[in-house]
Chains A and B, each alone.
Chain A
Amino acid sequence: MRAVITVIGTDRVGIIAGVSAILADANVNILDITQTTMQGLFTMIMLVDISKSNIDFEHLSSRLSAKGDQLDLKIRVQHEDIFKSMHEI
């Protein structure tokens, strides 16, 4: 299963490091990564493979969300199908 991780907030040191450390710990593979600034906000999107993850989705989500709180960012992880189904036919 593939998921999309989105990070929105103010740019600062250690965002990618912080997120990738959690993913490495959970054995989640990063497939693609992109970052940009949209309407003055730092945004990062990661496509990840969670099929070999050693923790369940709920825990991964709460760890990422807690990291977001710590870095003053909003970090979400969502199944990629929600985006595919809305934007692809």
Chain B
Amino acid sequence: MINPYEIFETINMISHENLDIRTITLGISLRDCAHPDMDTLCTRIYDKITTVGGNLVRTGEAIEQEYGIPIINKRISVTPIAMVAESAEGDFVKVARALDRAAKELGINFIGGYSALVHKGYTTGDTRLIESIPEALATTERVCASVNVATTKAGINMDAVAHMGRVIKKAAALSADRDSIACTKLVVFANAPEDNPFMAGAFHGIGEPESVINVGVSGPGVVYNALKKLGPDADFSEVAELIKKTAFKITRMGQLVATEASKRLGIPFGVVDLSLAPTPVVGDSVALILEAMGLERCGAHGTTAALALLNDAVKKGGVMASSHVGGLSGAFIPVSEDSGMVDAVRAGALSLEKLEAMTCVCSVGLDMIAVPGDTPDYTLSAIIADEAAIGVVNNKTTAVRIIPVCGKKAGDAVEFGGLLGGGVIMPVNKFSGQVFIERGGRIPAPIHSLRN
């Protein structure tokens, strides 16, 4: 029989340390739904999603019940809608509403893929989709949008960067009565992964199969509790070793659930995403892990080094535990979704500039950051440009999910609710990058993109 201590270790991780599977995300190709008539297109999209995804929630719940591990979200990602709807006449927002209806019908909280890939330039479908994003996000509940504006191979499309600043401002204005919540569902990427199971940036990439199961694990609370027990005398080799072992155990859960979901749904398994994803629940925080390593507050000098160690150890432990690893795979630092990050901002320890430095060594980027509502669009664009540069030059994914909350100023409280959390408005640098952003064109790909 299995060792009783190991049994109780697993149970304790689940019941006291917030170990869970963050998401089972079903990727569905919508390429065969394309149609010149917008209403027919919407019907085909709705029918396909509700047919292929019909058993997703039920299956997730059955696995949850049998294995006794919570599966927090069951979600769907689809082919970037800019491609699917490009040949249809009419308003793209209709597609967003069809996606929203399908999500409601299936009982899933988010559906991702209201997306465009424009790192080198726009097609007509890309332009129409991006122009429709503010209304699409403000008038739907569960649809998530993303736009890829840069890759290491193509460089940075600065026209798209400038455009996205204006799109974010418009989305904020259209949802001004709800703390500009539309912006929480919009991610601007550099080097976007095609198999990411996490929202709001998930979409079903063009190299993906007809349908696929990707799983995102969680578990910052488990790593935090393990580190707490290690104490302050352990050196960094011991810290890294402990994180690796813990990440291995967490990821094995993800692999098990992914394999089981794939088998029961008859849909191929894609990847396990190794990301440590925090939630607003107290104790389920990446910031607390960094503080448990010996920092007085997340954001103090040393935070970037601590995060680099954490991110690397999570990957090393996780990669051994799963047959296929992909997506974002690293530690997330979404400010409003991590109570430790919010506390650090409130205490004056964590600034936007420090977060930017942290994104050089972890997955994603400036995530769920609320800034003053009067932040100019070109400043948002300049923030995006900086993040994209970090991603492009370092050959990694970076993203910006920033919320200029209408009517609020630095220091004000903000509340998005649920997994999106809340927090405090962070100040931004007051000096302008307007002329820089208005140049337009493309920043060329870096020399190390030429690898052939």
A→B interface (CB under 8 Å):
4, 6, 8, 31-32, 34, 36, 38, 43, 45, 47, 57-58, 61, 76-88
Q: Could you name 24 residue pairs across A and B whose Cβ atoms are closer than 8 Å?
A: A6-B7, A31-B1, A38-B4, A38-B8, A43-B4, A45-B1, A45-B7, A57-B65, A57-B66, A76-B68, A78-B66, A79-B66, A80-B2, A82-B253, A83-B7, A83-B10, A85-B252, A85-B253, A85-B255, A86-B249, A86-B252, A86-B253, A87-B2, A87-B9
Q: Which residue of B lies closest to A77 (CB)?
A: B68
* B233 at the binding interface (Cβ < 8 Å): no
Whether B1 pairs with A81 at a CB distance below 8 angstroms is no
Dominant SS among interface residues on chain B: helix
Whether A87 pairs with B68 at a CB distance below 8 angstroms is no
Residues A83 and B6 in contact in the complex (CB < 8 Å), given A45-B1, A76-B11: yes
Chain A residues, CB < 8 A from B68: 76-79, 82
Inter-chain CA distance A88–B249, complex, in Å, is 10
Chain A nearest Cβ from B43, distance in angstroms: 35
Residues A45 and B10 in contact in the complex (CB < 8 Å), given A57-B66, A78-B67: no
Inter-chain CA distance A76–B70, complex, in Å, is 13
Q: Which 6 A-B pairs have the closest CB atoms?
A: A78-B68, A87-B6, A85-B256, A82-B67, A32-B1, A85-B252
Range class of the B interface residue count = 20 to 34
Chain B residues, CB < 8 A from A85: 252-253, 255-256
Q: Which residue of B lies closest to A1 (CB)?
A: B66
Inter-chain CA distance A31–B1, complex, in Å, is 9
Residues A61 and B256 in contact in the complex (CB < 8 Å), given A45-B4, A84-B2: no
Chain A residues, CB < 8 A from B69: 82
Chain A residues, CB < 8 A from B7: 4, 6, 45, 83
Inter-chain CA distance A58–B3, complex, in Å, is 25
Inter-chain CA distance A74–B205, complex, in Å, is 44
Inter-chain CA distance A61–B5, complex, in Å, is 22
Chain B nearest Cβ from A51, distance in angstroms: 13
Chain A nearest Cβ from B324, distance in angstroms: 16
Residues A82 and B10 in contact in the complex (CB < 8 Å), given A34-B4, A43-B4, A87-B2: yes
Chain B nearest Cβ from A36, distance in angstroms: 6
Inter-chain CA distance A83–B147, complex, in Å, is 40
Whether A36 pairs with B253 at a CB distance below 8 angstroms is no
From A43, A61, A82, A87, give the contact of B3 (CB < 8 A).
A87
Chain A nearest Cβ from B9, distance in angstroms: 8
Inter-chain CA distance A61–B68, complex, in Å, is 10
Chain B nearest Cβ from A3, distance in angstroms: 8
From B1, B9, B10, B252, give the contact of A47 (CB < 8 A).
B1
Q: Which residue of B lies closest to A78 (CB)?
A: B68
Q: Which residue of A lies closest to B3 (CB)?
A: A87
Chain B nearest Cβ from A45, distance in angstroms: 5
From B4, B5, B10, B65, give the contact of A86 (CB < 8 A).
B10
**Chain B positions 244 through 263: 1 when the CB is less than 8 Å from some CB of chain A, otherwise 0:** 00000100110110000000
Inter-chain CA distance A78–B66, complex, in Å, is 5
Inter-chain CA distance A36–B5, complex, in Å, is 10
Taking A47-B2, A83-B10 as given, write out 6 further A-B residue pairs in contact, using a Cβ cutoff of 8 Å, ordered by the A residue number.
A6-B8, A8-B8, A43-B4, A78-B68, A82-B10, A86-B6
Inter-chain CA distance A36–B88, complex, in Å, is 67
Q: Which of B189-212 contact A (CB under 8 A)?
A: none
Chain A residues, CB < 8 A from B253: 82, 85-86
Chain A residues, CB < 8 A from B5: 38
Inter-chain CA distance A57–B2, complex, in Å, is 21
**Chain B positions 4 through 41: 1 when the CB is less than 8 Å from some CB of chain A, otherwise 0:** 11111111000000000000000000000000000000
Q: Which residue of B lies closest to A32 (CB)?
A: B1
Chain A nearest Cβ from B190, distance in angstroms: 35
Residue from A32, A45, A87, A88 whose CB has the most chain B CB atoms within 10 Å: A87
Inter-chain CA distance A38–B66, complex, in Å, is 25
Chain A nearest Cβ from B317, distance in angstroms: 12
Inter-chain CA distance A34–B5, complex, in Å, is 12
Q: Which residue of A lies closest to B66 (CB)?
A: A79
Chain A nearest Cβ from B91, distance in angstroms: 44
Q: Which residue of B lies closest to A46 (CB)?
A: B1
Chain B nearest Cβ from A47, distance in angstroms: 5
Chain B residues, CB < 8 A from A45: 1, 4, 7
